[in-house]
């Protein structure tokens, strides 16, 4: 019988083999290119045509966007036409992706929140631009799945809404009629453990454009602060990825344990030359002794804020929406410590920065400048919404336009206004088992009901609200069986007042109704 003999290498042979292997790795070609245009040329050489390409573009608002690469496409590659841009936001007029919108190179956007962009609004309503609005967490997961080779997945986000049911305007006719040319298609749904889930397909792109703080010559990337956001997910989803960075070092200068994105996902690296790092909302702390204070909230809003703060329990991980919910963190009960999550990739969100110290790499979900607290952590957008969907974030407090007696919430489309997108709201309220508190004025400014039997506005989530806190009362929602129970009243408000200002029937807690103003 033939026997194959294996002989261990001698120490000299082993040393020579290691030296050969080491030389092989040391001589690996650098991924660094001298300009964005050169790197983009190499990317375009991998595709049959420069038209109809899909670009996955990192960033959140204007934080962590690849300014240099975007500018190069607008300036050096006018032949790049009819592009689909997959990006959480659409930039602003004349900056970021706004440049490519103004140059007419973008035909379709896949985003969660388009922001304040007049060019975008004009193109969308005028039928020049197709827009697929996608919940923020779903968008991040579609990109992550695309980069992981997973073609589709089921998510509870948007079940029972127009996103799942279809029919939302993707493209208007260009004849000025305002008629819809393309509507969104219904998604496949399936029930798991009694909960409805929506199937979403993964996204892959021809080219990924991302921004990082540091890279080595092998393409390993390190991000800084909340500028990480969608960048790792976009990088993974592209067939050819270009990263622009603020600093380039030699291979080996970044510890393996400090690499946020391995170079296997990155094809080219360029130095950022357009590095304005514009901040959308510079928000700073009032100086001591100036008379300003973020905790001075009076009237009905003050009542709402103070009552909402009573929902905090020691050690909770909490996500707070913009406006009234955010103010609640100023009124933490004595002895209670919470961790604030910002869905753009920060756990441990602290106060606004001191005057003059705002940092473009540290923003919250409202695009405001913030600071991290000791022990904070940053992560990608897909990781952020993974912890939200799995209910690791125990409490969400957000605003509302309408809430139904069944706990349905509508808060992302303002009647008569341009639809900006749902952002992360659908994900925040959609996780089975999550606790959702809505804070809002009891009636609209025009006196119409905001709490009603059925919402008349498009839903953010179906049967998702646990508690409604208004300037007049507190309602408990029965998400399983439907129905509201009045459990607290504002001082000077009667049950008859609530009946008059509420558009649905409700139960009343037994016994004397507690005052929401009581300590």
Query: β-strand 484-489 against 507-508: which pairing, if any?
Result: parallel
Q: Is 102 marked active-site?
A: no
Q: At what angle do helices 136-148 and 381-389 cross, to 10 degrees?
A: 110
For 59, the 3-state DSSP assignment is coil
43 burial (CB, 10 Å; 0-12 / 13-18 / 19+) is buried
CA nearest 316: which of 463, 434, 470, 461?
A: 434
Q: Are the C-beta atoms of 480 and 313 separated by less than 8 Å?
A: no
Cα separation, 96 vs 99, in Å, equals 6
Whole-Å CA distances, 408 to 4, 484, 505: 71, 12, 15
From 67, 244, 343, 488, active-site residue: 343
372 beta partners: 349
* CA 31/CA 20 separation, integer angstroms: 22
The answer to whether the CB of 302 falls within 8 A of the CB of 294 is no
- C-alpha to C-alpha distance for 387 and 377, rounded to whole angstroms: 13
Catalytic residues: 343
């Amino acid at each position: 019988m033939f026997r194959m003999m294996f002989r261990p290498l001698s120490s000299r042979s082993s040393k020579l083999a290691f030296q050969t292997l080491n030389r092989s790795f040391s001589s690996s070609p650098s991924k660094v290119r001298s300009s964005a245009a050169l790197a983009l040329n190499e990317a375009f050489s991998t595709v049959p045509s420069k038209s109809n390409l899909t670009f996955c573009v990192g960033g959140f608002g204007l934080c962590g966007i690849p300014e240099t690469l975007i500018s190069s496409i607008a300036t050096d590659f006018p032949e790049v036409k009819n592009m689909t841009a997959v990006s959480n936001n659409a930039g602003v007029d004349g900056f970021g992706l706004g440049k490519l919108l103004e140059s007419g190179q973008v035909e379709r956007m896949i985003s969660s929140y388009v922001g304040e962009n007049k060019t975008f609004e004009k193109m969308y309503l005028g039928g020049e631009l197709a827009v697929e609005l996608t919940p923020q967490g779903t968008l991040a997961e579609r990109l992550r799945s695309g980069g992981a080779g997973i073609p589709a997945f089921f998510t509870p986000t948007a079940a029972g809404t127009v996103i799942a049911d279809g029919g939302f305007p993707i493209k208007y006719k260009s004849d000025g009629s305002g008629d819809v040319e393309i509507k969104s298609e219904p998604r496949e749904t399936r029930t798991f453990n009694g909960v409805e889930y929506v199937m979403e397909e993964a996204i892959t792109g021809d080219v990924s454009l991302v921004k990082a703080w540091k890279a080595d010559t092998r393409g390993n990337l390190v991000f800084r602060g909340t500028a990480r956001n969608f960048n790792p997910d976009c990088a993974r989803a592209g067939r050819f990825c270009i990263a622009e960075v603020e600093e380039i070092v030699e291979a080996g200068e970044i510890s393996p344990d400090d690499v946020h994105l391995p170079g296997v996902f990155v094809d080219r690296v360029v130095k950022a030359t357009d590095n304005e790092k514009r901040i959308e909302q510079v928000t700073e702390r009032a100086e001591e002794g100036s008379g300003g204070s973020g905790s001075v909230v009076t009237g009905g809003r003050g009542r709402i804020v103070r009552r909402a703060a009573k929902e905090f329990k020691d050690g909770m991980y909490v996500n707070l929406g913009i406006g009234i919910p955010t103010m609640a963190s100023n009124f933490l009960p004595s002895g209670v410590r919470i961790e604030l999550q910002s869905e753009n990739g920060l756990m441990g969100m602290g106060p606004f920065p001191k005057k003059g110290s705002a940092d473009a790499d540290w923003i919250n979900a409202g695009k405001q400048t913030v600071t991290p607290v000791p022990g904070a952590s940053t992560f990608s957008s897909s990781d952020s919404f993974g912890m939200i969907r799995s209910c690791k974030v125990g409490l969400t407090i957000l605003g509302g336009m309408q809430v139904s007696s069944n706990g349905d919430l509508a808060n992302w489309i303002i009647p008569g206004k341009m639809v900006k997108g749902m952002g992360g709201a659908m994900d925040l309220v959609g996780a089975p088992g999550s606790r959702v508190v809505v804070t809002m004025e009891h009636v609209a400014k025009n006196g119409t009901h905001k709490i009603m039997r059925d919402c008349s506005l498009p839903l953010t989530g179906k049967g998702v609200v646990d508690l409604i806190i208004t300037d007049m009362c507190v309602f408990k929602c029965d998400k399983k069986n439907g129905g509201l129970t009045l459990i607290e009243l504002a001082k000077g408000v009667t049950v008859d007042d609530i009946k008059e200002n509420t558009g649905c029937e409700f139960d009343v807690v037994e016994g004397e109704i507690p005052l929401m103003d009581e300590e």
